[in-house]
Structure 1
Amino acid sequence: MFRFRLALVIAVSFGFVLLLGGIMYWGADQVARHFQRSQTAFEAFDHYENLSQEAYRYFKQQMDRLITSGTKAETDLETSKQRLLEAMQALREQAVKDPLLIEDKQQRNPDKATELERVANLTAFLDASEYRFNEVERLREQGKRNEALQALSKFSDEEIDFKFQPLIDAAIHAERDKAAHAKQELENLVAQSRWVTISAAFIAAIFSLTAGIFLLGRVKKPIEALMQGTNEIASGNLNYRIILDSRDEFAYLASHFNKMAIELGVQQEKLRQGREELENRVAERTYELQQLNQALKRMDAERCEFLADISHELRTPITVIRGEAEVTLRGHQRDPEEYRDTLHRILDLSMQLGKYVNDLLFLARSETANLQFEWDELDLTELIGSSMEDFKVMAEESAICLSYSAPEQPIWLFGDKQRLRQVLFILGDNACRYSKPGGEIIINTWLDDTHVYVSLTDKGIGIPSQDLERIFERNFRSENARRLHDDGSGLGLPLAKSILKAHGGQISVDSSVNAGTTFTIKLPLISTGEDKDSL
């Protein structure tokens, strides 16, 4: 329905456009015709003016020649005659091809006949004038000069003034009237076209305004309803429905819009349910991933700690082995027993290095970074004694004096011999590194009923009091230790504490800056009468 109304308005508007175009085309064509008429009249007027000038020039030159009989006058006369003939020929052609006389034959035949008759009269007069001039010339050649002059005077007074001049004046006056008439018709046509155009444009404007107001009234309410519906849907109100009481295209569009809102509501509900289900699954998987991530972080942290500890501990046995070999090679004459003792110590240190390497292999093959222990009964006195030989090698490099006092009887413990040797190496290496050249390291061992105590005292740089509680933290090093040696890792003492804790022991420290440090190890003894196999 609405499409039909819109098509009707467009068709009528197009008809008005065609009408205006036709009127403007007709007006332009009429203006062109009247302008051509006016232009033709002015051209004819110019031809008559030119003919009049050339004719009088020719007549004057003829008279001067007949009166004076000059050779130069005869030459000019031929030129003037030729120009007169050309002007007459141009006027004749203008009269024959005059479009004003051709386009409207019924109305213009009298004018055409008059025009042609006027041209014919002028042509006949010019021919007659040529005959008269020849006759005067003949009288002058016969010696009848007075008769020739009288004939020439009579021709000028009677023929030129009373015949030729009225013909030219009548022709010029007729062309002036014709041009004025064409101009007046042109002005009337322009005025008529203007009023016709204004009237048609006014009617078209009234129709367009009326049709626009009518169509606007028909589409305003449906468009507002559709816009309201789109705003409600866009804001999330999928329950909104567009209600139109018409049966046109807008009602069809509104019904489909309502169906779309219903479908959107159904799809939105499905999406909400799917999103809730997906969120629950994501939450479950996220929790599982967080648990796995935390486990991986713990494993990675333990792995890194273990690798750092092993890397730190590999340094001390290698240093001692190198020192033992260098001391043995520097000696001159030694008995085989001394070489045997040195080799035994190098063997023990190599076994300890092998244990570290096994720890690394175990770490590579498993997903844990925990240290592995080999528990067995061991004699602490014998362990400290063998370690003292290694300490001497490290102490000699820094010219440090080493002293040791311990009970002569065995001190039995239950633990890992290589791990406890590792603890002693950590403490001994720190004492040698942070003691001043020419200093002293003192190692003491004593017992009580249930525990054995081992202290290691140096006269080194000491530890600031504010750092005593932090030296067993991983990667921590006091400021004065970093200034003296910047290659430490801060892993030795935390590792030693972990090993002693696994043995049920403890480690404590007492230190003063620039006065020295004392580390004390406490380990449980095997109880008297206890069944060793059960341990």
Structure 2
Amino acid sequence: MFRFRLALVIIVSFGFVLLLGAVMHWGSDQVAGHFQRSQRAYQAFDRYENLSQEAYRYFKQQMDRLITGGPDAEAGVGASKQRLFEAMQTLRNEAVKEPTNDADQQDKPAELERVANLTAFLDASEYRFNEVEHLYQQGKRDQAVQALSKFSDEEIDIKFQPLIDAAIDAERQKAAKAKQELESLVSQSRWIAILASVTAAIFSLTAGILLLGRVKKPIEALMKGTNEIASGNLNYRIALNSRDEFAYLASHFNKMALELGVQQEKLHQGRLELENRVAARTHELNQLNEELKRMDSERREFLADISHELRTPITVIRGEAEVTLRGSGHDAEDYKDTLQRIVELSMQLGKYVNDLLFLARAETANLQFEWDILDLKELIAASVEDFQVMAEENAIAVSFDAPGQPVWVQGDKQRLRQVLFILGDNACRYSKPGGHIAMALWLEHNQAFFSLSDQGIGIPAQDLERVFERHFRSDNAQQSRSDGSGLGLPLARSILKAHGGNITVTSIENSGSTFTVTLPLISAEGDNDSHE
């Protein structure tokens, strides 16, 4: 539809151009015709002027010959007569030519009449000159001169000159008329050109405005649609209600956007699926990595804990052996007790070694527990004897206050002994020489409590909550002893937590610390069942 309108505008515009060209061609032909008429009129004017000059020259030479005579005059008259004949012949030839337009056709009879009159006058003048010459030959000179004078006054001035003037005036009028018509034609051509140009301009402007109005809205809709699609809004659709080429183009744009949307959705789904797979694999890898980190961290922590705990039993074994070797007069029972404690400490060391072997085989750093019902009072009492061995080096006294009956708890004997060793070792290491370590055991609300108090360097108040953090050591502890790792108390809390117990601390810096441990008691029925 739009192509039809555009073709119609082009055809009409081309028609205006052809019309303007035809008008200009017609005008140029008319101008050329009028110009030729004007040129012919001026040429005829020149011919009449030439004829008049040649005629007067011929008349004068004839009069001079007749009056004066002589061979030279005869020769001049012959040449002048020949030129006059040629001028008259040229005039007759032009007069008898076929006219090229209606105006020349209308002027042709008058022109032929003028040429005929001039021809007749020239023939008559020749006859007059012959008569005058005959009078001269008869000796009638006066009559001949009188005849020449009469011919000059009556024929030349009265008849010939008016004919020449009338012919020249007619040609001048023809030239003026041709010029006037030419000017009028030029003016008409100018106005026709102006009118055609204005009409073409008005038509072009009107057609342009109408086409622009028809084109503006579809183009704006297409531009907006392409901008939306280019910006990624593939759900946008170009709405055109016309049935022209723009609507066809808009429908194809909409189809393209739909196909792009489908492809983009497929790509989006594929990307989401790929991202989900990558995320799942990444999550698995992160979990594996975290598990490996956790296992490695637990392994390193366990190795550090075991390394830390191996020191205490070895110290006690060495102390027991040294005390026994230094003494004299010990009976067999004393040696038996010493060897028993060494055996128990060796079992403790064996427990640690077994943990190391389990770690190497099972690739885990989790502590293993062997649950049993045990007498907490007996376990603490045995540990106190070991503490006394460690405390002898610094002359530190160790005491233990406990109830008279057994205190039954469920737990791992070696792990609880490990907790006691941690607390006792710290008390011996950080107590001042000549100090005192007091241990107490009591029962309260189905709970077993035991505490260890020393008179050591104490713990600053701001560090009380941090002493159970791994690798943490207070500043005064680092200044007092450089061989600590900060692993004992965190390990003790982990063991007690596994037993359902807890550990707390109170301390005054430079006065000492008290660690209190809580463990759940077992029932009397459990006690009887265990002993059965």
Find the structure with the greater CA-based Rg: 2
TM-score, length basis structure 2: 0.49
TM-score, length basis structure 1: 0.48
